[in-house]
Structure 1
Amino acid sequence: MEVITNSYPIRKFEVSYDWQEIQTRYLRLYAGLVSDALEHMGYHQQCMASGIYPLTHTMKVAGPAFTAHGIATPSRDTKVHDIRLGMFKSMVPGVVQIRDTQGDLSCGHFGEISATAAAAHGCVGAVIDGSTRDSNYLIDMGFPTFCRFRNPVEAFGRFMVVDYQIPIFVKGMSGLLQVNPGDYIFGDNDGVVVVPQELTIPVLELAEEWFASESQSRKAMATGRDPFDVYKEFGRF
């Protein structure tokens, strides 16, 4: 449902699952395993390009995508600026904000005040295909934030979010990777994986199955058992 309020639309959406339960289950996993599950299902290009990492190595993020589309612009038009402010009203609990930046290098695209506003509206993390600023504040507040670089320069007058909850493109491993609102975002210290919305549960269930097998395989390998026997028994190595 879309409602136009002032100069910005309200685009609320609902997922068909208990977001807290699914998030808890995903957070037990790791990005490599989620990527492997997608590969097994025939999806070979679902990881963001190398270089997108959390501000600290322990940060992990999991949740349906709340997309934001930004462009480089010198504009200081307050009506356009209101779009960024208004988008927080469309956020629902459990979402992960993911921003494209069109490769802009001019400024910090996401900071602590944006994170504070997003968190207050239910957002559980951010993936910025560009830069952050206020990094120490983001770390201290414990808001999982992934980015490509850091830049202290103010975005206003250089870069602006102009739309949200629409399909966007981010840098993928072999070109552009499309992210749709509601796709499941999972990230850890190895990078970020984008799970198509309809595969959120199937990928989770397969990854959990493999996670259990890997745990058994790991224990068996640690005892010095023959690797061939271990692989034959558990199927993961």
Structure 2
Amino acid sequence: MSQKEDINIERAGRLDTATLSDALDKLGIAGQCYRIQARGEGFAMAGRAFTLQYGPAANPPGTVGDYIDDVPPGSVLVLDNGGRDNATVWGDILTEIAHRRGIAGTVIDGVCRDVALCRKLGYPVFSKGHWMRTGKDRVQVEATNVPVNIGDARVQPGDIVRGDADGVVVIPREHEAAVLDTAEAVERAEESIREAVRGGMRLDEARRQFRYHQLQTKGA
């Protein structure tokens, strides 16, 4: 990974997902992961995507999770289980190993289990929910580091994935400079509005002065 790419992960980590979502909207990029939420209070992460695609188990069935030792530290694991809510693809063994290996977090288009351990360790897991039933013999890994879909957002290997209390956004690698520049401009404008209001300016006047209503508008 280049130094510039490292810096972009740090930049993304300093921005909240709401601000990044506004920047994505302004640039016309669909990067918000619908209904993907943190499984623990205070969970936050930023890193580059290491993706896995799941499908129904074959006969005999394939594995659900023997890939973990090949994931580079600092990555965000992105697991596309097709939104399934009846079979999990993440649990306590993977949480413990991922935490020990320095993986930044896990995002699942589906559900996880064993949330008590990820909360205890502070290892960030984001998913559509949690339930106890295993995915073993129900689903299997079909492909690794291929384009996947998470909450209606396309994720490619190496894209920046940012998660916090509001959810998860994906920043496509080819657009990351533009998204981060735009998000930082949005953040500066919103802070200027807050400062102006603290100084006694009316909110509508502050919003007009700092072009608040154009912040999220595509092409504005």
Q: Same fold (TM over 0.5)?
A: yes
Pick from 55, 61, 73: which aligns with 2:39?
A: 55
Q: Structure 2: where are the runs of 5+ without partners? A: 214-220
Pick from 113, 134, 139: which aligns with 2:93?
A: 113
Pick from 70, 78, 86: which aligns with 1:98?
A: 78
TM-score scaled by structure 1?
0.80
- 1:17 corresponds in structure 2 to 4
- 2:148 corresponds in structure 1 to 168
- The alpha-carbon deviation at position 225 of structure 1 amounts to 1.0
- The alpha-carbon deviation at position 154 of structure 1 amounts to 2.1
| Aligned: 1:30 with 2:16 | yes
Higher alpha-carbon deviation: 25-34 or 226-235: 226-235
Distance (Å, rounded) in 2 between the aligned partners of 1:162 and 1:118: 20
Distance (Å, rounded) in 2 between the aligned partners of 1:215 and 1:126: 31
* Larger relative contact order (CA 8 Å, sep ≥ 6): 2
Distance (Å, rounded) in 2 between the aligned partners of 1:75 and 1:115: 27
- The alpha-carbon deviation at position 48 of structure 1 amounts to 1.5
Q: Structure 1: where are the runs of 5+ without partners? A: 1-13
Secondary structure of 1:92's counterpart equals coil
Structure 2 counterparts to residues 128-207 of structure 1, below 5 A: 128-172=108-152, 177-207=153-183
- The alpha-carbon deviation at position 187 of structure 1 amounts to 1.9
- 1:84 corresponds in structure 2 to 65
Secondary structure of 2:87's counterpart equals coil
- The alpha-carbon deviation at position 75 of structure 1 amounts to 4.5
Give the CA RMSD over aligned residues.
2.2
**Change in CA separation of 1:15 and 1:156 when aligned onto 2, cut-off 3 Å:** farther
Contact map agreement 1:67 1:164 (CA 8 A) in 2: yes
- The alpha-carbon deviation at position 229 of structure 1 amounts to 3.0
Count of residue pairs the alignment pairs up: 213
Secondary structure of 1:101's counterpart equals strand
4+ aligned runs moved over 4 Å, structure 1:
74-77
TM-score scaled by structure 2?
0.85
Contact map agreement 2:193 2:210 (CA 8 A) in 1: yes
